[in-house]
């Protein structure tokens, strides 16, 4: 017999929808038959399958272990295997700076060189690190991961460092996705570019990504080509390093397309240092773009449980390489 206690992440789902997700290899007809025969019960009673689940509800599945494993399919052992991978990522990537955490979200300072999400099956990314961290803190259990896995909400390039929004709960995931999609979270980056920039500017253009080359191309005017997407990037100079002819910028991302900041700054003749793909020069042996997601500002007026971050600003310390180059 397998008992599942419904948590906040499963609440409000229909029982039959939950069971179809949990028993991936079972047909709908088989699930309804098991409900009729009380081989699957809800809070110890016969259920129809149309019931809305509530936090704390108990689902009991009276199957032999072999039968349960058969109908769960790959999910039967996946959660334990994934948990082992998650703890490995937590140990390999190591301790990261958690800038903010509550019951629904977490903000973490990702170092350069760490993937936000897997690019290959064997990769260990921030996504796995997050779950390893939550397992280590006791914020999730291996059992709870069978029905919901926390995940990152926004992506940074492997070698872009800084703030990443992570969802601990389904409520957090839905809210952060909505805010990001509506561009209600203001995202600011710090970077260092070649040459002198002295004015605050809003750049507009159209971007196309060549997937085969993993590189983007920008046009100032609309090329009337559906492959191109509208982009907008704002920047403001922070300071100028005269002896090195470098400018420290704060960049606000208005739209969020792959390589947008890197390519947009390069297109005006001021590439990010280290970003050899887009014409940046190496400084102190830097072999990747010096770009850091520095600051996030959440909108005002958010309702509970997100009122704690309403109107709040969060920053992530600059990597040491910034200070070395500035000095």
Q: Domain check: are 168 and 199 in the same one?
A: no
Q: What's the pLDDT score for residue 82?
A: 66
What are the φ/ψ torsions at residue 129 (nearest 5 degrees)?
-55, -45
CATH of the domain at 42: 3.10.290.10
Positive or negative torsion for Cα 56, 62, 66, 67: negative
Decide: 114 and 152 in contact? Cβ < 8 Å: no
User: Within the chain, where are the H helices?
Assistant: 15-22, 28-36, 65-72, 75-93, 126-137, 170-181, 260-267, 320-326
Domain stops at, among 45, 72, 99? 72
Domain stops at, among 72, 102, 130? 72
Q: Domain check: are 49 and 146 in the same one?
A: no
Q: Domain check: are 147 and 31 in the same one?
A: no
Q: Domain check: are 65 and 82 in the same one?
A: no
Q: What's the pLDDT score for residue 147?
A: 84
CATH of the domain at 286: 3.30.2350.10
Q: Domain check: are 146 and 17 in the same one?
A: no
Domain stops at, among 135, 154, 181? 181
Q: What's the pLDDT score for residue 81?
A: 63
Q: Domain check: are 68 and 80 in the same one?
A: no
This prediction has a pTM of 0.85
Nearest-angstrom CA–CA distance, 1 and 79: 18
Checking DSSP bridges between strand 291-297 and strand 186-194, what pairing results, if any?
antiparallel
Q: Domain check: are 259 and 233 in the same one?
A: yes
- How many domains in the chain? 3
Q: Which residues lie closer than 8 Å to 271 by C-beta, 6 or more apart?
A: 193, 194, 262, 265, 278, 279, 280, 281
Residue 80: which domain range? 76-181
Q: What's the pLDDT score for residue 181?
A: 94
Q: Domain check: are 61 and 136 in the same one?
A: no
Per-residue tens of pLDDT for the chain, all 327 residues: 899 999 888 888 899 999 998 998 999 999 999 999 999 999 999 999 999 999 899 999 999 988 998 898 765 555 556 668 899 999 999 999 999 999 999 999 999 999 999 988 889 999 999 999 999 999 988 888 888 899 999 999 999 999 999 999 999 999 999 999 999 999 999 999 999 999 999 999 999 999 999 999 999 999 999 999 999 999 999 999 999 999 999 999 999 999 999 999 999 999 999 999 999 999 888 989 999 999 999 999 999 999 999 999 999 999 999 989 887
């Amino acid at each position: 017999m397998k008992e599942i206690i419904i948590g906040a992440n499963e609440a409000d789902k229909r029982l039959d929808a939950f069971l179809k997700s949990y028993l991936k290899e079972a047909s709908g007809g088989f699930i309804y038959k098991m409900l009729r025969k009380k081989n699957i019960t809800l809070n110890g009673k016969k259920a129809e399958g149309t019931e809305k689940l509530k936090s704390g509800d108990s689902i009991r599945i009276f199957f032999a272990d072999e039968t349960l494993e058969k109908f769960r399919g790959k999910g039967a052992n996946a959660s334990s295997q994934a948990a082992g991978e998650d703890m490995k990522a937590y140990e390999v990537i190591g301790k990261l700076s958690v800038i903010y955490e509550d019951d629904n979200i977490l903000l973490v300072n990702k170092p350069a060189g760490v993937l936000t999400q897997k690019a290959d099956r064997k990769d260990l990314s921030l996504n796995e690190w997050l779950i390893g961290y939550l397992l280590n803190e006791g914020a999730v259990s291996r059992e709870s991961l069978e029905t919901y896995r926390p995940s990152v909400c926004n992506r940074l390039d492997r070698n872009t460092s800084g703030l990443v929004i992570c969802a601990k709960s389904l409520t957090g995931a839905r809210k952060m996705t909505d805010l990001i999609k509506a561009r209600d979270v203001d995202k600011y980056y710090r970077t260092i570019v070649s040459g002198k920039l002295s004015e605050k500017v809003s750049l507009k253009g159209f971007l196309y990504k060549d997937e085969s080359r993993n590189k983007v191309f920008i046009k100032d005017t609309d090329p009337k080509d559906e492959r191109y997407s509208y982009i907008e990037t704002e920047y403001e100079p922070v300071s100028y390093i005269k002896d090195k002819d470098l400018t420290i910028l704060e960049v606000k991302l208005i739209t969020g397309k792959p390589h947008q900041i890197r390519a947009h700054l390069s297109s005006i003749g001021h590439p990010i240092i280290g970003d050899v793909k887009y014409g940046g020069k190496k400084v102190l042996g830097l072999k990747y773009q010096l770009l850091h997601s520095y600051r996030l500002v959440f909108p005002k007026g958010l309702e509970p449980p997100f009122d704690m971050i309403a109107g709040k600003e969060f920053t992530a310390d600059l990597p040491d390489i910034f200070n070395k180059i500035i000095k």
